[in-house]
Amino acid sequence: MQQIIATYQQSFAHQAAAVHATPSRKAIEDLRIAWLGRKGKIPALYQDLKGVTDGREKGLLGKAINELRNTIEAAIADLQAAGARAVLAAQLARPPLDVTMPVSAGSRMGSLHPVSLMRNLVVDELAKLGFSVFDGPEVETDFYNFTALNIPENHPARDMQDTFFIAEHPHYVLRTHTSNIQIHAMLQEKPPLRLVAPGRVFRVDNDATHTPMFHQVEIVVVDRGISFAHLKGLIEYTMKAVFDSSMKIRLRPSYFPFVEPGAEVDMLCSMCRGSGCRVCKESGWLEIGGCGMIHPNVFEAVNYDSETYTGMAFGFGLDRMAMLKYGINDLRQFFNGDYSFQQQFPLYSPR
Ligand SMILES: [Zn+2]
């Protein structure tokens, strides 16, 4: 057995030298398995050792086998480390990935959906003013979608919204507006609060100018001394940022349960700039959304002190705004997945 151990010492040294000359992950692993694996040579030696009866001889042989095993383990660890270094060196030797390489003319470059472009444009502008982006659930309880927004049970406004109710769960709805997010935000955060909340909303509507799913954004400010003048200023700022500095807005008194006073927001027709055209039905103005001062009952619902704080809210449709900004005449274009339509838009939000 002494003889075998001596032979093994030599043959391992030869094999290790061969692997060292051309190291590969497979060669190193094969070497490890041949010597240290469950059916390898070293475990076989230990097995044979069990048959040695002379105690002194058994002790000497055991020591020799241990030494051989330690030598092999150390050599294989060295080979593995050298192999890892070789792989890294090969990677570093390759030319680096050049991200500035021009894209070949025929390749299909990705672009952002016009609604995403519009959302990013609005969110980026408001982020500059220190607004935070908030999100909320699309499947919502009637508390967040209605009750907390001053739309109590049996209020006709629940009808007005053409809501998708969920048959098995009468207190859950697909949110009809992004206004549910302001309730989540106000329950979560203490005033003052500045938030922008974009998202998908759902109504039972389906024709050339309405789809059952569309996109809204809501902009909310709560602080001491917020007035209607701030609201008008913010809407004007936002619309000038989305279109250009010559954009004008006007407000018409209207009713939304969650604001008081409330107003509809019109902007100068982006197609004719007020001179009258088919898009604006010759009026020169386009209705784009609703706004108002947050109703004290909404503050009640979220435990905000309506004596100390006032708030303003402005919401509008991102789909309609994208149509006006990019001159798209059919809402259905947004949803039919036509590549040649989509390809006309850039990867980043242009100003
Ligand atoms: Zn017009």
In the reported structure, the alpha carbon of residue 286 is separated from the centroid of ligand 1 by a whole-number distance in angstroms of 8
In the reported structure, the alpha carbon of residue 268 is separated from the centroid of ligand 1 by a whole-number distance in angstroms of 8
Same domain? For 204 and 310 the reply is: yes
Helices (H), the chain: 2-21, 25-36, 41-49, 55-93, 114-128, 142-145, 156-160, 180-188, 228-242, 296-301, 318-326, 339-342
Same domain? For 54 and 135 the reply is: no
Predicted confidence at residue 106, as pLDDT, reads: 62
Predicted confidence at residue 348, as pLDDT, reads: 67
In the reported structure, the alpha carbon of residue 247 is separated from the centroid of ligand 1 by a whole-number distance in angstroms of 13
In the reported structure, the alpha carbon of residue 270 is separated from the centroid of ligand 1 by a whole-number distance in angstroms of 7
Same domain? For 137 and 11 the reply is: no
In the reported structure, the alpha carbon of residue 35 is separated from the centroid of ligand 1 by a whole-number distance in angstroms of 84
In the reported structure, the alpha carbon of residue 326 is separated from the centroid of ligand 1 by a whole-number distance in angstroms of 15
List residues bridging with 251 in a β-sheet: 265
Q: Stretch 337-346: mean pLDDT, rounded? A: 83
Kindly report, residue by residue over 124-138, the tens digit of the pLDDT: 999 999 999 999 999
In the reported structure, the alpha carbon of residue 264 is separated from the centroid of ligand 1 by a whole-number distance in angstroms of 18
Same domain? For 271 and 140 the reply is: yes
In the reported structure, the alpha carbon of residue 262 is separated from the centroid of ligand 1 by a whole-number distance in angstroms of 25
User: Does 237 map to a domain?
Assistant: yes
In the reported structure, the alpha carbon of residue 280 is separated from the centroid of ligand 1 by a whole-number distance in angstroms of 4
In the reported structure, the alpha carbon of residue 274 is separated from the centroid of ligand 1 by a whole-number distance in angstroms of 6
User: Does 101 map to a domain?
Assistant: no
In the reported structure, the alpha carbon of residue 328 is separated from the centroid of ligand 1 by a whole-number distance in angstroms of 14
In the reported structure, the alpha carbon of residue 281 is separated from the centroid of ligand 1 by a whole-number distance in angstroms of 7
Same domain? For 81 and 122 the reply is: no
Predicted confidence at residue 159, as pLDDT, reads: 73
Q: Stretch 186-194: mean pLDDT, rounded? A: 95
In the reported structure, the alpha carbon of residue 323 is separated from the centroid of ligand 1 by a whole-number distance in angstroms of 13
User: Does 284 map to a domain?
Assistant: yes
List residues bridging with 132 in a β-sheet: 195
Predicted confidence at residue 107, as pLDDT, reads: 64
Over 90: is that where the pLDDT of 169 sits? no
Same domain? For 272 and 158 the reply is: yes
* DSSP secondary structure string for all residues of 287-317: EEEEEEEEPHHHHHHTT--TTT-EEEEEEEE
Gyration radius of the chain over CA positions:
36
Mean pLDDT of the chain: 90
Same domain? For 142 and 191 the reply is: yes
Kindly report, residue by residue over 236-288, the tens digit of the pLDDT: 999 999 999 999 999 999 999 999 999 999 999 988 888 998 888 999 999 99
User: Does 287 map to a domain?
Assistant: yes
CATH code for the domain in which residue 301 is found: 3.30.930.10
Same domain? For 245 and 301 the reply is: yes
In the reported structure, the alpha carbon of residue 276 is separated from the centroid of ligand 1 by a whole-number distance in angstroms of 4
Nearest one of 73, 61, 79 to 6, comparing CA atoms: 61
In the reported structure, the alpha carbon of residue 243 is separated from the centroid of ligand 1 by a whole-number distance in angstroms of 15
List residues bridging with 298 in a β-sheet: none
User: Does 107 map to a domain?
Assistant: no
Please give the DSSP secondary-structure letter assigned to residue 94.
S
User: Does 347 map to a domain?
Assistant: no
Tell me which residue range forms the domain holding 16.
2-93
Same domain? For 192 and 271 the reply is: yes
Kindly report, residue by residue over 4-49, the tens digit of the pLDDT: 999 999 999 999 998 888 878 889 999 999 999 999 999 999 999 9
Same domain? For 201 and 61 the reply is: no
In the reported structure, the alpha carbon of residue 289 is separated from the centroid of ligand 1 by a whole-number distance in angstroms of 17
In the reported structure, the alpha carbon of residue 52 is separated from the centroid of ligand 1 by a whole-number distance in angstroms of 103
Indicate the residue among 43, 64, 93 that finishes a domain: 93
In the reported structure, the alpha carbon of residue 325 is separated from the centroid of ligand 1 by a whole-number distance in angstroms of 13
Kindly report, residue by residue over 197-210, the tens digit of the pLDDT: 999 999 988 777 78
Tally of domains within the chain: 2
Please give the DSSP secondary-structure letter assigned to residue 334.
G
* DSSP secondary structure string for all residues of 129-159: TTPEE----SEEEHHHHTGGGT--TT-HHHH
User: Does 176 map to a domain?
Assistant: yes
Please give the DSSP secondary-structure letter assigned to residue 243.
S
Give me 16's structure tokens: 């290790």
In three-state secondary structure terms, 172 is strand
Same domain? For 77 and 135 the reply is: no
User: Does 349 map to a domain?
Assistant: no
Q: Stretch 88-105: mean pLDDT, rounded? A: 80
Predicted confidence at residue 157, as pLDDT, reads: 74
Same domain? For 166 and 212 the reply is: yes
In the reported structure, the alpha carbon of residue 315 is separated from the centroid of ligand 1 by a whole-number distance in angstroms of 22
